[in-house]
Chains A and B, each alone.
Chain A
Amino acid sequence: MKGAHLGEFEEFVLLAVHGLADEAYGSAVQRLLERETDRSVSLGAVYAALDRLEVKGLLRSEEVAGTPTRGGRRRRQFRLTSPGARAIDTVRAVRERLYRAAPTGPARTRP
């Protein structure tokens, strides 16, 4: 583990798991990220990020029985741990401080 630093994609995945609450698993996280970021997100990238976050102790997972749409196949459901919740708070605080330091109004390049 390379420290507790969060990459941008990891941050997105962590937030998606937080937002999806009891429905946070690979395919759901992928769909949410594609919809909200307007990016093409591969399932493998989501799994890799979820695995890394679990290794960092920010998420934990458990096997849950599958629904009929999955043909009854079980899914791995993720939940935020308390270090994960703290990490989200920290990231948000950092961003808010940076936004406050920046000039107000829409961002533009300076002449």
Chain B
Amino acid sequence: MTAERDRPPARWLALVRALLPAARRDEVEGDLMEGWQARADLSRVQRAWAFWRDAVSVAVPRRRPHHATHQGRSRFGAFAASFVHDIGAAGRLLVRRPAFSVLTIATLAIGMASATAVFAITDRVLFQPLPFPEPERLVALSGVNGQEIQEGRLKRYANLRELWSLGAYYTGSMNVGATEGPGRARVASVSPDFFAVFGVHPTAGRVLTPDDDPENALAVVAFDAWHRLYGGRASLIGQNIRLNSRSYLVLGVMPRGFRFPDATDIWISGMADAQASGPRGSSPLRKSWRASRQEGRRRKPQQPSRGPTSDATRVLNRRPPPYPCRNS
């Protein structure tokens, strides 16, 4: 093989040319070709290693040479050369001391991960407002130690002067016969004025109202579940969906972000209205699963900050409990 033909692969040379400033291309390329020929007695792998060692050492110099920052470069070009130089220096240091590098990278990774986690939690809990209007007027009522509130007491709570509206719910999960295939969904069985408590308006369709017959099987779907389970079809509203083999009429879709309580996918009717005088509705969740039940209540606006607790205590003490043996 003649010296003229024994050259490094043309693609390698083209890549090296692209990495070099125009003023130095001929000189470096010629030197690389001579170096390649001078190592004809080495194996192919050794020649390739030597070629790339030389090419990288020129393209990413250890010390910032004068030609890299001044000759024939714009201000941005000089900055880019300096940046590439710094990256190269960092890379060489990392390769030279691998144990130290692994330790440093692991420390940085753990630090960044923990900072991100803390920020995410802090942001969600402290800075991001709840996805409801006037969240400062919302209060949650639950039994002692988070136990359920007996349904018999709902009506009495509805009479508290400081509370404006009252919604109640059970949570659980149900089988869904969805467009994308069957699955499980987190379902909340809610009272008709549940949505009025939060003041959140649906993205499409409507929500449950006290005018709806609690015996009807009605459903409202969360935004995420609308896309995940039903492909985001607008025609879903007004259709029936199947939950645990029972058919529910879809009234509407809630806006993105509203998934109260417990990341709910679907809200269904079935809990009696606290103020309703008629027969109470039946909740499939209550029958089938051990479910928690809480009430979200909205205080009346412009109330003194005495809080509902004192009022609740006063009302409960004044009125005789309907089931004295349970309330003793």
Contacts and interface: CB of A to CB of B under 8 A. Distances in A.
A26 B31 contact: yes
B58 A47 contact: yes
B57 A44 contact: yes
Contacts of A44: 54, 56-62
Interface residues of A, number: 26
Contacts of B56: 44
B53 A31 contact: no
Give the interface SS of chain A, mostly helix, strand, loop or mixed: helix
B311 interface: no
B65 A76 contact: no
Given A70-B33, A73-B27, A47 B65 contact: yes
B30 interface: yes
B33 A69 contact: yes
A36 to B, nearest CB: 14
Interface string B41-71: 0000000000001111111111101110000
A74 B23 CA distance: 11
Contacts of B26: 66, 73-74
Contact of A48 (B35, B38, B61): B61
Contacts, number: 84
Contacts of B57: 42-45
A75 interface: yes
Contacts of A66: 26, 30
Pick from A28, A43, A66, A75 the residue with the most CB of B within 10 Å: A43
A68 interface: yes
Interface string A45-69: 1011001100100000001001011
Contacts of B34: 27-28, 69-70
Contacts of B30: 27, 66, 70-71, 73-75
Contacts of A75: 27, 30-31
Interface residues of B, number: 29
Given A31-B35, A68-B3, A71-B33, A45 B27 contact: no
Nearest to A45: B57
Contacts of A52: 63
B32 interface: yes
B35 A30 contact: yes
Given A43-B32, A68-B3, A51 B37 contact: no
Given A30-B35, A75-B27, A69 B65 contact: no
A51 B4 contact: no
Interface of B: 3-4, 7, 26-35, 37-38, 53-63, 65-67
Interface of A: 25-28, 30-31, 40, 42-45, 47-48, 51-52, 55, 63, 66, 68-71, 73-76
Given A26-B28, A48-B65, 8 more contacts: A27-B35, A43-B28, A43-B35, A45-B62, A48-B63, A70-B33, A71-B7, A74-B30
